[in-house]
């Protein structure tokens, strides 16, 4: 997963170089003139602050909805592991939030397919007699994110901790759960939209308005001086 995040950043750098090269050629065309005030645009500190890398976990939850992709599925500590796994299979998800018996809003932990494999199958235990509470990851050991956590931060956290599902919590209230699949899908979708906008710009948008150039400078961390840097030209 680290390679995925790295590849996305690398694509951003490649796109930046391509855009700059394209704009240097366009800047010599009579149809295209750089406005003087554009040079005052401040350079962002890093690529992560702009473009597709600004997508947050809240954006994913909004897209999932309250009932989509098992975001709100749960089981009880008193349920059998068999019942929990059957629920995962029925809803095509890989993890369930676990609540305390009789207390729907009281989160006790999380149970995943990996828990089932490692603590039931490998150890030769019976899923029909073992309780969820006996094999779940308990609340005090849960790794969580907040709605404001950026998607790439969540991806890196999930990669580092080797987990595929992560609960979303705000003010000690459980809002839902996202999977590594949700995270990757969000990054890929947003990246695809960025590439579409860049392609539209390259195909001719630059000769109509200076605004796309400003947007690109924010996304790809360059300013108008970079465009003319190769031939030492100055803005007029």
Tell me the mean pLDDT in the region 204-226: 48
Reading the block at residue 230, the tokens are: 């190769």
**123 domain-assigned:** yes
End-to-end CA distance of the chain: 46
Q: What is the DSSP letter of 153?
A: H
Total domains in the chain come to 1
Cβ neighbours, 10 Å, residue 131: 16
**156 domain-assigned:** yes
CATH number of the domain bearing residue 149: 3.10.580.10
Where residue 231 falls among pLDDT bands split at 50, 70, 90? very low
Angle between helices 180-202 and 2-27 (to 10 degrees): 10
Which tens digit of pLDDT belongs to each residue from 132-179?
Answer: 999 999 988 889 999 999 988 998 999 999 999 998 888 878 888 888
**235 domain-assigned:** no
E strands, 101-145, in order: 103-112, 137-138
Question: Does residue 90 carry a pLDDT above 70?
Answer: yes
Q: What is the DSSP letter of 233?
A: -
Cβ neighbours, 10 Å, residue 182: 23
**155 domain-assigned:** yes
Reported as half-sphere exposure (CB side, CA atoms, 13 A), residue 76 has a value of: 7
Radius of gyration of the chain (CA): 24
Q: What is the pLDDT of residue 100?
A: 83
Q: What is the pLDDT of residue 55?
A: 82
**146 domain-assigned:** yes
- 230 near 20, Cβ under 8 Å? no
Closest CA to 160 of 145, 174, 146: 145
Question: Does residue 44 carry a pLDDT above 50?
Answer: no
- Give the mean pLDDT of the chain: 72
**33 domain-assigned:** no
> Three-state DSSP class for 110?
strand
DSSP string, 2-54: HHHHHHHHHHHHHHHHHHHHHHHHHHTSTT----GGGGGPPPPS-GGGSGGGG
Which residues are CB-neighbours of 99 under 8 A, at least 6 positions away? 74, 75, 76, 77, 105, 106, 107, 108
Percent of the chain with pLDDT over 90: 27
Q: What residues make up the domain containing 93?
A: 57-188
Which tens digit of pLDDT belongs to each residue from 209-218?
Answer: 444 444 445 4
**118 domain-assigned:** yes
Where residue 10 falls among pLDDT bands split at 50, 70, 90? low
Closest CA to 181 of 54, 48, 68: 68
**22 domain-assigned:** no
E strands, the chain, in order: 74-76, 95-100, 103-112, 137-138, 165-170, 173-179
Could you tell me whether strands 173-179 and 74-76 are parallel, antiparallel, or unpaired per DSSP bridges?
Answer: unpaired
Q: Which residue has the higher pLDDT, 208 or 87?
A: 87
- 201 near 183, Cβ under 8 Å? no
């Amino acid at each position: 997963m680290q390679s995925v995040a790295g590849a996305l950043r690398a694509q951003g750098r490649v796109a930046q170089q391509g855009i700059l090269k394209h704009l240097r050629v366009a800047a010599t065309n009579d149809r295209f003139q750089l406005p003087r005030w554009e040079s005052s645009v401040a350079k962002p500190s890093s690529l992560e602050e702009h473009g597709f890398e600004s997508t947050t976990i809240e954006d994913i939850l909004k897209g999932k909805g309250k009932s989509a992709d098992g975001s709100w599925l749960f089981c009880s500590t008193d349920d059998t592991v068999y019942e929990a796994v059957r629920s995962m299979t029925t809803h095509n998800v890989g993890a369930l939030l676990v609540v305390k018996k009789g207390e729907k809003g009281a989160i006790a932990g999380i149970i995943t397919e990996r828990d089932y494999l490692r603590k039931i199958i490998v150890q030769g235990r019976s899923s029909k007699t073992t309780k969820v509470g006996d094999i779940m990851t308990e609340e005090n050991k849960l790794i969580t994110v907040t709605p404001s956590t950026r998607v790439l931060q969540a991806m890196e956290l999930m990669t580092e901790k080797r987990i595929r599902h992560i609960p979303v919590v705000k003010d000690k209230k459980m809002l839902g759960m996202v999977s590594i699949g949700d995270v990757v899908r969000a990054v890929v979708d947003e990246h695809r939209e960025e590439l579409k906008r860049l392609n539209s710009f390259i195909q001719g948008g630059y000769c109509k308005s200076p605004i796309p150039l400003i947007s690109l400078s924010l996304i790809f961390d360059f300013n108008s001086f970079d465009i003319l840097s190769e031939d030492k030209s100055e803005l007029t």
